[in-house]
Amino acid sequence: MSAPVQDFCLTLLVSLFTLVLVASAYVRYCYGYWKRRNVPYLEPKFPFGNSTSLFPKGISIGAVTRSFYDKFKSMGHTVGGVYFGVEPKLVVLDPDLIRDILIKDFQNFTDRGVYQSESDPISVNIFSQPGKEWRNVRVKLTSVFTSAKMKAMFQTILDCHEGLEEALKELARQKSDVDILEVIGCFTTDVIGSCAFGIECNSFKDPDAEFRRMGRKLFNEFSLADRLNLFLSIYAPNLAQKLGVRNIQKDISRFFFHSIKDTVSHRERNNLRRNDLLQLLIDLKNSEMRLSMNELIAQVFLFFSAGFETSSSTTSLALFEISRNDVAQKKLREEILEVLAKHDNKITYDAIAEMKYLGQAVDESLRLWPPVATITRVCTKSHKLQDTGVTVEKGTTVLIPALGLHHDPEYWPDPEKWDPDRFSNENKDNRRPFTYLPFGEGPRNCIGLRFGLLQTKIALVTVLKDYRVSLSPKTILPLGVDPETFVLHNINRVYLLLDKI
């Protein structure tokens, strides 16, 4: 080997060795963040820190924070440090601190820290937008989700329950095992398709219709490239921004962008009006509020993605719990039939509001199975947490483990038991605040919670007024929770048997 080649090889080896040393030192420095700040922490492992997901299946960190909650709680800590990649994140366990972050000191924690990309307009919505942009859009959208608007839209939602009734009738006749998440998913797809797009999806007649197919794919079908994009958006968001990485599948983004834009153009061109969410947004676009077309499209997509998946998951899991509790099921059915009898045996907005035990059953299902398992906030101005000595630096993400709080025996005796009586008026008054967070709290709580609860309750009434539900032997227990998805998903599917009453 000639001297120049030897020199080159030696230089390359020295350079690589130096690079490894520098990278190792950088990682060690990053992983010393919480130790330097005297914050209790869990030991990270390179390159994923404390995360357990190599290639996530959603835009959230999923249910992994419940394990963080349990570990820090067992050590007697109210806060604790973890790492995602090399990025430090603060887990907050104490309900009083959670109250401060979500409400009292909200001005210092205005952002969610959800990845968005300007190259993909539908990702820039009220859920992902940072403080100033979020505030501007929230002001515009507040009027869309009032009780009065939900009442006016009720019939549009109810019209979709006829397809659910027909599907249930056929399934009961066949005496088949019912994949209840798929059935309810068809219903909520039809509801959101009708209310947000003004389109009859007919998911029961055509389960492979484009809207239903896109809804499934959005949360459940990811190519390797999609999962790599999600990996970058979670573990290296700054790099992902520079590369223009999308966290929503490209074909889904294109489909919804053009579907919404074409529907809006058709209505405006033909002066068509409809009693639905889309019309309310079109009115905002053409009012002094001046909602842009891109903003409108982004919000409609959010309503679709958040509305159909969270409600179908909540409804199917509520039916799972109801199927295993004969006493509660009997009480629910008696209430439903009694209230409907007072309303000419018709499902109405006021009838749903009267069903108190139904509301308790939904609330308890949301406790056991919160659709969004982790609430995130980003510190936008350095802030000292009361009574902890911990100062949260600007840019630090705070993780609030809703799933952990909801299963904590300190706040919920026998927490794995499904018991709607926990949400009686008396028990709600005695509950410690900020231990129940299915929709978040404070200014950035879920703006569509009324809509979500309404369609969930309509679906439950439609099932329970006519059928006794029982758990099929085909269901594998325990259901398990997938730690990698955005909306809480079970590892095992729920299959029910329907008996006509």
Residue 244 forms part of a structural domain:
yes
Q: How far apart are CA 377 and CA 395, in angstroms?
A: 10
Look-up of token digits 């398709």: 193
CA-CA distances (angstroms) from residue 97 to 117, 199, 397, 398, 431? 31, 44, 15, 11, 16
Q: Can you list the alpha helix ranges (DSSP code H) found in 118-248? A: 131-141, 147-158, 161-174, 180-197, 210-220, 224-235, 237-243
For residues 150 and 354, the model is more confident at 354
Single out the residue of 446, 368, 376, 439 nearest to residue 404, CA to CA: 368
Q: Dihedral of CA 162/163/164/165: which sign?
A: positive
Residue 478 forms part of a structural domain:
yes
Q: What is the CATH number of the domain that holds 264?
A: 1.10.630.10
Residue 23 forms part of a structural domain:
no
pLDDT number for residue 149: 85
The answer to whether 440 and 405 have CB atoms below 8 angstroms apart is no
Residue 17 forms part of a structural domain:
no
State the average pLDDT for the chain. Answer: 89
Q: How many Cα atoms sit within 13 Å of 428 on the Cβ side?
A: 11
Per residue in 386-430, pLDDT (tens digit) is: 989 899 999 999 999 999 999 999 999 999 999 999 999 999 888
Residue 9 forms part of a structural domain:
no
62-66, 86-90, 178-182, 439-443, range with the lowest pLDDT: 62-66
Phi/psi for 304 (5° steps) reads -65, -55
State which residues form the domain around 367.
Answer: 29-500
Global pTM reads 0.90
Q: How far apart are CA 218 and CA 415, in angstroms?
A: 32
The answer to whether 296 and 267 have CB atoms below 8 angstroms apart is no
Q: How many domains does the chain have?
A: 1
CA-CA distances (angstroms) from residue 70 to 74, 398, 405? 6, 16, 9
Residue 20 forms part of a structural domain:
no
Per residue in 289-314, pLDDT (tens digit) is: 788 888 888 888 888 887 778 899 99
Q: Can you list the alpha helix ranges (DSSP code H) found in 271-424? A: 277-285, 293-323, 326-341, 349-354, 356-368, 402-406
Structure-token pair, residue 495? 């299959």
Single out the residue of 218, 205, 216 nearest to residue 181, CA to CA: 216
Residue 4 forms part of a structural domain:
no
Residue 168 forms part of a structural domain:
yes
Per residue in 377-388, pLDDT (tens digit) is: 999 999 999 989
